[in-house]
Chain A
Amino acid sequence: MLIKVPALHEPPASEITPRRVYLNRRTALAGLGLAAASPLVLSQAAPGGGKLPKLPGTHSAVPGAMVMDKITSYADATSYNNFYEFGTDKSDPAANAHTLKPRPWTVSIEGECAKPGRYDLDALLKLAPMEERVYRLRCVEGWSMVIPWVGYSLSEIIKKVEPTSKAKYVEFTSLADKAQMPGVRSGVLYWPYVEGLRIDEAMHPLALMAFGMYGEVLPNQNGAPLRLVLPWKYGFKSAKSIVKIRFVEKEPMSSWTKAAQQEYGFYSNVNPNVAHPRWSQATERRIGEDGLFAKKRPTLMFNGYEAQVGQLYAGMDLKRYY
């Protein structure tokens, strides 16, 4: 007898139809373009189209990497995004990101490391085994989702390029191409989008370099073809569509800190006790789950990853280093 054990990301059969109905047409078209550009990935794609190429991963063994929360619907996770390179409304990325070309793609690795260079996406895809990880995602704006990502620990890349003793921080730069990203023409932020981590944060096994979600390659609006996912920090720390990784001695100035220092600090760890100047961070609304009139749920320290990442910040005044 054949028993099909569904992967964690697979919705129950009852939910499959709505997801297809909801699937954004442009995402599908972008996926076809991506698949056409990559015969290797195409061979893994399910027949019928309307979906992005598959990117399977084995369930991660990293502690804390598989939360049991109910997974957010694919429709919500791909239609409600902050990705200012495609516009400031949360519906803009889904509407505009079809112009992003996630292949061919190279990532330039620079700075204080023994093996700098330009790394092709295909090489990065093969650098370490793909894992599926179900993370909570907490946006600084007070909403949250639960996403099954596919990727491997950022530390795999870092170990490969051998950072020197001067590498105290890692800086991540996102693509800023006016031709592919209409939002870059606006002066909302200083482009390109820059984010940073302390090297020990970057080496933490939960810091994920993601290439996919929901068992498929990343949709453009979610940061294709590769992005960071730092589940214990507010979402904006997880840079999308990364083109450069640089090892540096001094703390990098991230784009949001540059734009509003008093609102967005370098660390930006999820912390219910430190309010954003314009709203409280004590509670959050889980997208697609909490009803319109439901009370928001309490936000957890380090987004519930305190057991795993708390020691990174031992002795630090988290009100000062927000």
Chain B
Amino acid sequence: MKAALTRALLHQAAKVVLFLLCLGPLAWLVYGAFTNQLGANPAEALIRRLGDWTLRGLWLTLAITPLRELAGLAALARFRRMLGVFSFSYATLHLLAYGWLDQGLDLAVIATDIAKRPFILMGFTAWVLMLPLFATSLNKAIKALGAKRWQTLHKAVYVIAVIALMHFIWMRAGKHNFAEPAVYGVILAALLGWRVYRRLRTK
């Protein structure tokens, strides 16, 4: 069973399949926008769903290492970078959709909005923190930085995930609507908690 799974994960086509899967939500949203299936407020739907998929992408990225170790599937590691890059891509589209569809690409208005509103500031900070991780996602960057430094830098993803979750919680706070953020929170707590546990145990 494990051997078969590993073989599938190591297959040449596996990355192509994952790439297409990652494109799926975007394709669905674009299709929905063109066929008028995003409800009465398509702009809001686009912005929110791109945000949802950013969080999901980040959480999946963070799930790779625990899954790899718990299931003994070392081959999973080869997908982590692609998931990370897709999270960043969805985050960028989310930011662009907000800036364009909600703020009409008015940079002055966007700057005021970011400075004035904590939940927007949170989201923007998370995106800015993702930039260096995206910029150093190629093997060349790992070589240039040295594996150790590269790894330290990429630990920022934990901070990014927490800030992104706060952005989501804060967005929903005004409406006291915490059901969804709670689900994301519990999963993130498990993903980060597992790392803390492993660290304490190996000490």
Residue pair B40, A287 in contact (C-beta under 8 Å):
yes
Residue pair B40, A260 in contact (C-beta under 8 Å):
no
Does A4 count as interface, using CB distance less than 8 angstroms? Answer: no
- Contacts of A143 on B, CB cut-off 8 Å? 41, 44
Q: Contact check: which of B33, B40, B119, B177 meets A292 at CB < 8 Å?
A: B33
Contact string, A271-294, partner B, CB cutoff 8 A, digits 1/0?
000011111100001011000110
Q: Which positions 11-63 of chain B face chain A at CB distance < 8 Å? A: 33, 39-44, 46
Does A263 count as interface, using CB distance less than 8 angstroms? Answer: yes
Residue pair B174, A76 in contact (C-beta under 8 Å):
no
Q: Which positions 87-116 of chain B face chain A at CB distance < 8 Å? A: 100-102, 104, 109, 113, 116
- Contacts of B44 on A, CB cut-off 8 Å? 143, 285
- Contacts of A189 on B, CB cut-off 8 Å? 176
Q: Contact check: which of A187, A275, A278, A293 meets B101 at CB < 8 Å?
A: A293
Residue pair B40, A188 in contact (C-beta under 8 Å):
no
A287–B119 Cα gap in the complex (Å)? 24
Residue pair A259, B119 in contact (C-beta under 8 Å):
no
- Contacts of A75 on B, CB cut-off 8 Å? 40
B9 to chain A, nearest CB (A): 36
Residue pair A285, B177 in contact (C-beta under 8 Å):
no
B139 to chain A, nearest CB (A): 38
A186–B182 Cα gap in the complex (Å)? 14
Residue pair B175, A79 in contact (C-beta under 8 Å):
no
A17 to chain B, nearest CB (A): 16
Residue pair A280, B39 in contact (C-beta under 8 Å):
no
Contact string, A37-75, partner B, CB cutoff 8 A, digits 1/0?
000000000000000000000000000000000000001
Q: A186-B179, A277-B117 are in contact. Are A263 and B174 (CB under 8 A)?
A: yes
Residue pair A88, B175 in contact (C-beta under 8 Å):
yes
Q: Which positions 133-184 of chain B face chain A at CB distance < 8 Å? A: 170-171, 173-177, 179
Residue pair B176, A285 in contact (C-beta under 8 Å):
no
- Contacts of B113 on A, CB cut-off 8 Å? 279-280
Residue pair B100, A293 in contact (C-beta under 8 Å):
yes
- Contacts of B100 on A, CB cut-off 8 Å? 293
- Contacts of B39 on A, CB cut-off 8 Å? 79-80, 90-91
A259–B101 Cα gap in the complex (Å)? 29
Contact string, A243-279, partner B, CB cutoff 8 A, digits 1/0?
0000000000000000110010000000000011111
Q: A280-B113, A296-B104 are in contact. Are A79 and B40 (CB under 8 A)?
A: yes
- Contacts of B171 on A, CB cut-off 8 Å? 278
- Contacts of A187 on B, CB cut-off 8 Å? 176
A187–B176 Cα gap in the complex (Å)? 8
Residue on B with the closest CB to A75?
B40
Residue on B with the closest CB to A287?
B40
A277–B121 Cα gap in the complex (Å)? 13
Residue pair A292, B42 in contact (C-beta under 8 Å):
yes
16 of the cross-chain contacts (CB-CB < 8 Å) are A75-B40, A79-B39, A80-B41, A88-B179, A90-B41, A186-B179, A187-B176, A260-B174, A275-B116, A278-B174, A279-B117, A285-B41, A288-B40, A292-B46, A292-B101, A296-B102
Q: Which residues of B contact A (CB under 8 A)?
A: 33, 39-44, 46, 100-102, 104, 109, 113, 116-120, 170-171, 173-177, 179
